[in-house]
């Protein structure tokens, strides 16, 4: 969330750590047992990729 980046970071880290389970028919992501540093690095990567100028790629369904 742009209004509270710290809360957004913590929410992503908490979600990755807990990996919600028990939803029938849903595939489960493997548990990687990441360190706090690795989790922070991963969130930094997500933030970096979210700012890449993609020039509207991929195109919409209409082409």
63 domain residue, yes or no = no
Q: Is the peptide bond before 58 cis (omega within 30 degrees of 0)?
A: yes
59 domain residue, yes or no = no
56 domain residue, yes or no = no
Q: What is the DSSP letter of 58?
A: S
20 domain residue, yes or no = yes
- Whether 59 has a pLDDT exceeding 90, the answer reads no
- Whether 63 has a pLDDT exceeding 60, the answer reads no
Asked if 13 and 45 touch (Cβ cutoff 8 Å), the reply is no
Tokens for 53?
A: 């100028």
Q: What is the pLDDT of residue 23?
A: 76
Number of domains in the chain: 1
- Whether 61 has a pLDDT exceeding 80, the answer reads no
Q: Which domain holds residue 12?
A: 5-51
62 domain residue, yes or no = no
Q: Between residues 61 and 38, which one has the greater pLDDT? A: 38
Phi-psi region of 52 (alpha: psi -120 to 50; beta: other; left: phi over 0): beta
pLDDT, tens digit (0-9, with 9 covering 90-100), for 8-31: 999 999 989 987 677 788 787 788
3-state secondary structure of 47: helix
């Amino acid at each position: 969330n742009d209004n509270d980046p710290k809360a957004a970071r913590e929410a992503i880290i908490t979600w990755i750590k807990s990996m919600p389970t028990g939803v029938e028919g849903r595939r489960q992501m493997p548990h990687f047992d990441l360190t706090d540093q690795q989790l922070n690095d991963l969130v930094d990567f997500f933030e970096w990729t979210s700012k890449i100028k993609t020039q509207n790629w991929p195109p919409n369904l209409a082409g």
